[in-house]
Amino acid sequence: MRRSKLTAGPRRVRLHVGALGLLFLSAAPFAAAHAFQVTPPDAATKAAMEKRTAARTMLSSAIARLASNATDSAALLDAGRASIELEDYRAALGFLTRAEQASPRDGAVKAALGSAMLHLEKPSRALDYFGEAQLLGAPERLFLADRGLARDLLGQQDAAQRDYQLALSIAPSDEVIRRYAISLGITGQADRAIQLLTPQLRTQDRAAWRSRAMILAINGRNDEATEIVKATMPALLAQSILPYLTQMDRLNPAQQAAAAQAGKAISAASTSDVAQNVAAGTTGGQSGGQSGGQSGGQPGTQQSAQQMVDAGQARGAADRTLLHRLNTDNAGWSETMVKRLTADLRSGVQSVRIILEPRQLGRLNVELGLRNDQASIRIAAETQEAAKLLSGARSQLGQMLESAGMRLASFQATGSQADTGLDTGQGSQGRGGEGAGDNAGRNNAGRNKEFSNKIATALDDQAEDATNGDDALREGETAVLSILA
């Protein structure tokens, strides 16, 4: 696979993206003028016009419904979706934010918010919303194509291509085919990408020809790309674009996607988003395979804190915030949580949200990273029920962490939980067999008590430091569990 040169700085990236955006944004009026002079609108143009007309109708209907009920979440969602189709992304965000407030657990609203964030040039935030939508049960068809584009803009081409393939298997789309083809071009598969575009090229679809020019330029085939641009654009505009187009192969994959995928909806990816993800991904592309194989083993494998974090950073953080769902009624939920978080730490993930079931437990917000040269995990609860859950499971969590080469450093909680002793097998009945309900707890009561005493001593030793450090409770938190390697 061909590797791109990583030489372009942020300022040059902005120039490339802005100039290449003209390649897309200027094509519509040119095509319209050409159509007026020669032929009626082609099928693609006609379909786009009909889509916008339908979006205007939907928006008018939604606003009429909102006039009767300003908190109608369905109407707000329709208004948001219609605004996205009409490329009024700020208005879409306003409607969808209100919809989220009215229906906070509606996966369709989360998916639409992800699309709005994508078009507002915030691909990382978009991925957060798509993850929440998936966890809340929204059909993937609602966001697959846009999640693929968000991943492309963050340099995650392999994941993006999987999304495009799945989206196309559900509902064929010329636009998604073009996105998929450009992503293939970025990974050096130019011939396969052009073959994918062939049906559209045969119908003289201008967007497909522009995509082909981009793919060729990304792969250093500048003569062919230049020929296409000159044949499909006015001479003056083509002349202004070509100096940038011929530098496409000098950009890294995320920057190439920001330029090549710019068009109807995206004029440029957020420079800060791209820069942060490229910085992590540059090393990841070179050393991720080796470090992944060495550090991705069993939870019981002990590593130094620096090795754990370095291995993860070398691979790059795929999504800066991951989302997990955890049913605490299932036996062994605490073991599942420890395994997931240990794997997340090794993968370089810095932020995790755990949505707990039953729903009244709320969620856990997890921060992972380095503290005083030690790998650390900070788990914060949002509800008193979740605080009680963590308090009752401390003994079991401590044992599992110890076997994974880590230790339970401290536990802080509000109210009565702050004074609650470590669970010795009597505090978590009804939680899927945790605590006293665990077979391990019944059969190893003596060992549990001994371990609890050991953990209690460690907690007492560190309690004063915890109240003044990262382990202290923050606003809105009911409990904090601190883990160190």
- Domain stop point among 276, 310, 344: 276
Q: Which two tokens stand for residue 108?
A: 């369709």
β 321-327/351-357 pair status = parallel
pLDDT tops 80 at residue 19: no
Q: Calculate mean pLDDT across residues 312-340.
A: 70
The string of pLDDT tens digits covering residues 77-109 is 999 999 999 999 999 999 999 999 999 999 999
pLDDT band at residue 427 using 50, 70 and 90 as cut-offs: very low
My answer on whether 144 and 250 are in the same domain is yes
pLDDT band at residue 75 using 50, 70 and 90 as cut-offs: very high
What is the rounded average pLDDT for all residues in the chain?
74
pLDDT band at residue 145 using 50, 70 and 90 as cut-offs: very high
Q: How far apart are CA 273 and CA 121, in angstroms?
A: 9
Name the pTM for this structure: 0.54
pLDDT tops 80 at residue 195: yes
pLDDT band at residue 116 using 50, 70 and 90 as cut-offs: very high
Q: What is the pLDDT of residue 170?
A: 94
Q: How far apart are CA 288 and CA 294, in angstroms?
A: 10
In a domain, 48, yes or no: no
Distances (CA, A) of 285 to 28, 128, 288, 431: 37, 23, 6, 42
My answer on whether 270 and 338 are in the same domain is no
The string of pLDDT tens digits covering residues 158-181 is 999 999 999 999 999 999 999 999
Q: What is the residue type of 174?
A: D
In a domain, 406, yes or no: yes
My answer on whether 109 and 255 are in the same domain is yes
Q: What is the pLDDT of residue 15?
A: 52
Q: How far apart are CA 12 and CA 25, in angstroms?
A: 20
My answer on whether 313 and 267 are in the same domain is no
pLDDT tops 50 at residue 460: no
Q: Calculate mean pLDDT across residues 323-335.
A: 84
- % of the chain at pLDDT higher than 90: 34
- Residue 32 belongs to what domain range? 10-42+105-276
My answer on whether 312 and 259 are in the same domain is no
pLDDT band at residue 355 using 50, 70 and 90 as cut-offs: confident
Q: Calculate mean pLDDT across residues 232-246.
A: 79
My answer on whether 322 and 265 are in the same domain is no
Question: Which is higher by pLDDT, 485 or 211?
Answer: 211
Question: Which is higher by pLDDT, 476 or 95?
Answer: 95
My answer on whether 253 and 342 are in the same domain is no
| Burial of 50 from C-beta contacts in 10 A (0-12 / 13-18 / 19+) | exposed
In a domain, 325, yes or no: yes
Q: Calculate mean pLDDT across residues 320-349.
A: 80
Nearest CA-CA partner of 96 in 73, 65, 126, 64 = 73
In a domain, 258, yes or no: yes
- Domain stop point among 276, 306, 339: 276
In a domain, 286, yes or no: no
Q: What is the pLDDT of residue 89?
A: 92
In a domain, 363, yes or no: yes
My answer on whether 327 and 264 are in the same domain is no
In a domain, 88, yes or no: no
In a domain, 290, yes or no: no
| CA end-to-end distance (rounded Å), the chain | 38
- Domain stop point among 247, 276, 305: 276
Please give the tally of structural domains in the chain. 2
My answer on whether 131 and 242 are in the same domain is yes
- Which residue matches tokens 């190439």? 256
Peptide bond preceding 299 in cis form (omega within 30 of 0): no
Q: What is the pLDDT of residue 336?
A: 86
My answer on whether 239 and 346 are in the same domain is no
pLDDT band at residue 431 using 50, 70 and 90 as cut-offs: very low
Whichever domain contains 26, its CATH number is: 1.25.40
pLDDT tops 50 at residue 225: yes
My answer on whether 364 and 424 are in the same domain is yes
Describe the strand order of the beta sheet including 363-371 as a list of residue ranges.
Answer: 321-327, 351-357, 363-371, 374-381, 479-484, 407-413
Question: Which is higher by pLDDT, 201 or 448?
Answer: 201
My answer on whether 149 and 183 are in the same domain is yes
Please name the residues in contact with 327: beta carbons below 8 A apart, sequence gap of 6 or more: 333, 356, 357, 432
Question: Which is higher by pLDDT, 417 or 224?
Answer: 224
Question: CB of 288 within 8 A of CB of 275?
Answer: no
At 367, give phi and psi (nearest 5°). Answer: -115, 135
The string of pLDDT tens digits covering residues 51-69 is 899 999 999 999 999 999 9
